[in-house]
Amino acid sequence: MYAIKCKQLIDGTGKESLENAVIVIEGERITQAGLGNSITLPDDCEIVDASSHTVMPGMMDAHVHVRMTGDPADKFGAHTEVTELAGTTALKAYVSAKRDLESGFTAIRDIASRCYEDIALRNAINEGLVQGPRMRVAGLGLTVTGGHMDRTKGMIPGIQMPGPSAVVDSPDEARKAVREQLKMGVDLIKINSALHEHLRPFESGYFSPEMTLEMIEAIVELAHWAGRRVASHCNGGQGARNAIVAGVDSIEHGEWLTEEDLDLMVEKGTFWVPTLMVSTVGYERRFEDEDGNSSEFTRKFRQENYEHAWSTFEMALSKGVKIAAGTDAAMPGVRHGDNARELELMVERGMTPMQAIVAATNTNAELFDWESDLGTIEAGKLADIVIVRGDPLQDISVLRDVSLIERVIKGGETVVVRPKSTS
């Protein structure tokens, strides 16, 4: 048993923070949490002194790809899928997940892998072979022939490529692909429901539906029957509408969602994972691609995608859409370990710091189906806790400075500890 004495406790529920609070931990769970004067500690209780720190739940990232680091030099493209050994990919995945954990993210959701390295890593973490965050994993994403994640697109016939996708073109093929992912042990199903790349010269707001409504309905029905959530990659358009109508659990990205889409999401309880980081980094890199020169299509798309991401976020916030924090860490420039930048961007566009913290804790715990164990600091929950130097309610950016993440606790065990400031 040990207790954490906190200067400020943010419990993840969205309620006002508590000053001079105490958290009591036995084994892997919290047994008490509240004002210090309401809790009696036994004489032999070990004390973790956070009396000049903020204590809050471990953060969660709802959209990452551990197979890539997010460093711009770590190219995200087809050539790595045919030149990189699966073992190398798995080792990269471990490095990425460890970075997330060390930055205060005690749980992540991997949204499509190349060769099931996400499942292998999750299992290794759960078995105690390596140290990393809790993981929800999707295995291979589902796409259609010529779709967003069809890696043979643009190649001569007969070429075969390893994941990160399973190509399906009918409801029955989709059902079979879902069963294949379930057989491999996934926690959720990822689909691609809308396509924009180079179908025609860039036209604002144009996205081709990638999957038919019937296909998505078949996927959702089977996944929900198996107790798995469904996450849909889409920017907007009819593909997004199909996904929402069919009952997917979350829309990933969704920069071009309409007011009607958002109203329907509120009605159906659909989560939105806006991944503002990837839209912002794309905007910042709009004049550069791998060769140093972006196409006119890419420049226009990144510019308008960025603008729509912001306006859609503000509209979704005003309507009460369930917004979850996810970064798309792995995309070039969206680095694992820099995950808390997403919270900064959320605050820039109208969330309070408390709302952003809840999006990365309690809301994500619900999306991950871990709300009974994670997301808040209260008796009975698993002790996934972050101790921070500074006050994120006054300056959300302190969560992005890894040097200020003094201690990370996962299941009651300290997995990261940094020296206290001497100032």
Taking residues 393-406, report their average pLDDT: 97
- What is the structure's pLDDT at 83? 81
Question: Nearest Cα to 229, choosing from 268, 190, 282, 257?
Answer: 190
Contacts of 89 (CB under 8 A, 6+ apart): 67, 114, 115, 117
pTM for the full model?
0.95
> Measured between alpha carbons, how far is residue 163 from residues 74, 93, 117 in Å?
18, 15, 11
Percent of the chain with pLDDT over 90: 76
Distance CA 63, CA 91 (A): 19
Cis before 162 (ω within 30): no
Are 2-57+377-417 and 59-339 the same fold in CATH? no
The answer to whether 110 and 136 have CB atoms below 8 angstroms apart is: yes
Taking residues 62-67, report their average pLDDT: 96
Question: Nearest Cα to 325, choosing from 308, 315, 313?
Answer: 313
Distance CA 210, CA 147 (A): 6
The answer to whether 220 and 243 have CB atoms below 8 angstroms apart is: no
Question: Nearest Cα to 150, choosing from 136, 166, 135, 137?
Answer: 166
- What is the structure's pLDDT at 423? 45
Query: Which stretch of DSSP H or E encloses residue 53?
Result: strand 46-57
The answer to whether 205 and 182 have CB atoms below 8 angstroms apart is: no
The answer to whether 211 and 193 have CB atoms below 8 angstroms apart is: yes
Computed over its alpha carbons, how large is the radius of gyration of the chain? 21
- What is the structure's pLDDT at 65? 96
Q: How confident is the model over 110-129, as pLDDT tens digits?
A: 999 988 999 999 999 999 99
Contacts of 88 (CB under 8 A, 6+ apart): none
CATH code 2.30.40.10 for 2-57+377-417: yes
Token duo for residue 317: 């916030």
Lowest mean pLDDT segment, chosen from 154-163, 188-197, 223-232: 154-163
Task: Write a three-state SS string for 71-122.
Answer: CCCCCCCHHHHHHCCHHHHHHHHHHHHHHHHHCCEEEEEECCCCCCHHHHHH
Mean model confidence pLDDT for the chain: 91
Question: Nearest Cα to 229, choosing from 145, 163, 324?
Answer: 324
Distance CA 189, CA 259 (A): 26
Residue 78 has pLDDT above 50, yes or no: no
Taking residues 181-205, report their average pLDDT: 79
Question: Nearest Cα to 6, choosing from 14, 398, 394, 17?
Answer: 17
pLDDT band, residue 300 (cuts 50/70/90): confident
pLDDT band, residue 157 (cuts 50/70/90): confident
Q: What are the sequence ranges of the domains in the chain?
A: 2-57+377-417, 59-339
Q: Which fold has domain 59-339?
A: TIM Barrel (3.20.20)
Q: How many CB atoms lie within 10 A of CB 203?
A: 10
